[in-house]
Chain A
Amino acid sequence: SAVISQKPSRDICQRGTSLTIQCQVDSQVTMMFWYRQQPGQSLTLIATANQGSEATYESGFVIDKFPISRPNLTFSTLTVSNMSPEDSSIYLCSVESANYGYTFGSGTRLTVV
Chain B
Amino acid sequence: GQQLNQSPQSMFIQEGEDVSMNCTSSSIFNTWLWYKQDPGEGPVLLIALYKAGELTSNGRLTAQFGITRKDSFLNISASIPSDVGIYFCAGQLGGNKLVFGAGTILRVKS
Contact = CB atoms under 8 A, between A and B. Distances in A.
Interface of A: 1, 4, 6, 31, 33, 41-45, 48, 59, 92, 94, 96, 101-107, 109
A59 B45 CA distance: 26
Q: From DSSP, what is the main secondary structure of chain A's interface residues?
A: strand
B45 A103 contact: yes
Q: Which of B88, B90, B92, B97 has the most CB of A within 10 A?
A: B97
Nearest to A1: B45
Given A6-B42, A101-B45, 6 more contacts: A4-B42, A42-B102, A43-B43, A43-B88, A92-B43, A104-B44
Interface of B: 1, 33, 35, 40-45, 48, 88, 90, 92, 96-103
Contacts of B102: 41-42
Contacts of A101: 33, 45, 48
A1 to B, nearest CB: 7
Given A42-B100, A48-B97, A106 B42 contact: yes
Contacts of B42: 4, 6, 92, 104-107
A111 to B, nearest CB: 14
A31 B95 CA distance: 10
Contacts of A59: 1
A41 to B, nearest CB: 8
B40 A106 contact: yes
Nearest to B89: A42
Contacts of A45: 97-99
Nearest to B33: A102
A107 B88 contact: no
A102 B41 contact: no
